């Protein structure tokens, strides 16, 4: 039978690909931090983790990779999972602190079958890639009989987390026969082969059943052939298939810490201890939004996201805090949200300025001229919160009693944040990050020297014209 029109071809495709469907558009799930969402999805309020896709989170140790995965788990349980749905967490490293997950994110990671287990969370600790492949094989085969009706059966899993790819061993590594001397070394690249098989078998089913996959990965030293070479010094585990299947690839790098002085009961002295980690988030690949974005977020030890500290630091960067620390009255006359208070001490205060709507021609700043008359003092100026340090201000914003100050301050910061242009990485930063995760090749768009300049194009055009006039080179 010949297909005469495109409608005939599409009808044949609909009959033969019953499980295939056109995506209405990528939907994003928040990570819990609006600043991380902008890096992931390119939007402050609509960005985040793409549903139905594969996300890779890589980085060095102590950069918050597992905390990011747990934050995503919390958001999926609260905003995506319907009654009867849930998530699967594969703890391949056998090192997840369940107390931290419960304290910081409210996640009950009790083993499957435990009396205290959350029925929405499947907490598994496999050893091999084959165990995960067997799990998905049974999961999707149970939905296969419904294909006779034209649609696949419902799969109640909305999120799957692999923590981490480096600990996902091939089956041959666990078998007794591979423990012989020299046998294990002969299986170089076996993990890459098994990971490629896992993706090729189930990546279509994950997308079709709206299952989001988060891969926590590690950066390792790249062993150069012969002990030296011009390649990247570090790489990620899992082989080369993973970067191609991933929709979004995120690299985390620690860029600083916030320390506080605390009393040590053992030594009887004050010692500095780390309280926060400043982590730079950068996307080196993004199929669903603008790639090569970066930003800095903060993670508090034992608590997860510290959005409040990120908000106050960005508020200071945007100039929302008045620099005057001696004359508090002069500081309060400035039409800003936050002020450095005076009284001989440096501090930070959140002020909310309210002007009488019945007198719109009056400016909010004393002494300003609106063309008609000098304005009077603002009708109402309320001090919502005051603290001596940025850290103290951020900790006070965690208190529900200061909800008004938090809403006002975060609204002003996000307003400036939306107006700010996307923080794009420079070509040099792109090459550095790609080398950090093992991408040796440099794309032409990232190499500034490979781009022709206007002068070089003009020289080439002039040379071509001269050659055409002289008839070219003699043969």
* Per-residue pLDDT tens digits of the chain, which is 475 residues long: 678 788 888 888 777 766 555 556 788 999 988 888 888 875 655 678 999 999 999 999 889 999 999 999 999 999 999 999 999 999 999 999 999 999 999 999 987 778 888 899 999 999 999 999 999 999 998 876 544 444 567 899 999 999 999 999 888 877 755 555 555 555 668 889 999 999 999 999 998 899 999 999 998 887 765 555 566 778 899 988 999 999 999 999 999 998 887 777 777 788 888 889 999 999 999 998 888 888 899 999 888 889 999 998 888 888 777 655 444 454 455 556 565 554 445 577 777 766 555 544 444 333 343 444 444 444 456 778 888 788 888 889 888 898 888 888 888 888 887 776 556 677 787 777 777 776 654 444 444 444 444 444 455 545 555 555 555 444 3
Show the CA angle centred on residue 27, arms to residues 102 and 160, nearest 5°: 40
DSSP SS3 for 319: coil
Residues belonging to the chain = 475
Give dist(CA 439, CA 432) in Å, integer.
Answer: 9
**Cβ atoms within 10 Å of 75's Cβ, excluding its own:** 18
Kindly state the DSSP code that residue 189 receives in the 8-state scheme.
T
DSSP SS3 for 375: coil
Give dist(CA 164, CA 237) in Å, integer.
Answer: 10
CB proximity list for 135: less than 8 A, separation 6 or greater: 124, 126
Instruction: Judge whether 196 and 246 are in contact, CB under 8 Å.
Output: no
Write out 40-53 in H/E/C secondary structure: HHCCCCCCCEECCC
Instruction: Judge whether 117 and 111 are in contact, CB under 8 Å.
Output: yes
What number of helices (H) and strands (E) belong to the chain?
14, 16
The DSSP code sequence of 235-284 is EESS-SHHHHH-SEEEEEEEEEEEEEEEEETTTTEEEEEEEEEEEEEEEE
Nearest to 436 by CA among 234, 244, 243: 234
């Amino acid at each position: 039978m010949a297909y005469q029109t495109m409608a005939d071809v599409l009808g044949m495709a609909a009959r033969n690909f019953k499980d295939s469907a056109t995506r209405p558009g990528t939907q994003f799930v928040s990570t819990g931090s609006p600043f991380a969402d902008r890096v992931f999805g390119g939007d402050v309020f609509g960005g985040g983790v793409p549903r139905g896709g594969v996300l890779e989170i890589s980085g060095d140790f102590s950069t918050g990779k597992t905390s990011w995965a747990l934050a995503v788990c919390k958001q999926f349980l609260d905003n995506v999972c319907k009654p009867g749905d849930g998530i699967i967490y594969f703890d391949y490293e056998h090192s997840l602190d369940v107390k931290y997950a419960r304290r910081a994110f409210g996640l009950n990671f009790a083993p499957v079958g435990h009396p205290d287990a959350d029925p929405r969370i499947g907490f598994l600790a496999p050893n091999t890639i084959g165990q995960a492949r067997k799990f998905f094989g049974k999961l999707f085969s149970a939905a296969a009989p419904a294909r006779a009706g034209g649609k696949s059966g419902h799969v109640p899993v909305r999120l799957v987390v692999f923590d981490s790819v480096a600990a996902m061993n091939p089956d041959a590594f666990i078998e007794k026969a591979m423990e012989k001397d020299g046998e294990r070394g002969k299986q170089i690249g076996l993990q890459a082969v098994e990971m490629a098989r896992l993706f090729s078998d189930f990546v279509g089913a994950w997308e079709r059943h709206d299952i989001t996959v988060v891969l926590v990965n590690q950066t390792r030293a790249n062993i150069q052939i012969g002990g030296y070479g011009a390649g990247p010094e570090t790489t990620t585990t899992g082989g080369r298939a993973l970067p191609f299947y991933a929709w979004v690839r995120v690299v985390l790098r620690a860029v600083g810490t916030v320390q506080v002085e605390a009393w040590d009961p053992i030594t009887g002295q004050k010692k500095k201890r780390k309280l926060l980690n400043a982590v730079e988030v950068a996307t080196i690949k993004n199929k669903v939004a603008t790639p090569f974005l970066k930003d800095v977020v903060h993670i508090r030890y034992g608590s997860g996201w510290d959005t409040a500290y990120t908000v106050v630091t960005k508020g200071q960067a945007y100039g929302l805090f008045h620099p005057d620390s001696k004359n508090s009255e002069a500081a309060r006359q400035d039409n800003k949200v936050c002020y450095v208070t005076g009284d001989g001490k440096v501090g930070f205060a959140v002020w909310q300025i309210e002007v009488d709507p019945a007198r719109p021609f009056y400016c909010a700043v004393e002494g300003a001229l609106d063309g008609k008359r000098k304005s009077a003092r603002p009708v109402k100026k309320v001090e919502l919160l005051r603290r001596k340090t940025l850290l103290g201000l951020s900790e006070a914003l965690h208190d529900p009693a200061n909800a008004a100050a938090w809403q006002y301050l975060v609204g002003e910061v996000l307003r400036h944040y939306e107006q700010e242009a996307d923080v794009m990485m420079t070509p040099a930063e792109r090459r550095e990050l790609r080398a950090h995760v093992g991408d040796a090749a440099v794309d032409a768009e990232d190499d500034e020297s490979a781009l022709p300049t206007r002068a070089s194009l003009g020289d080439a055009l002039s040379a071509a014209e001269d050659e055409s006039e002289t008839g070219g080179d003699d043969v």
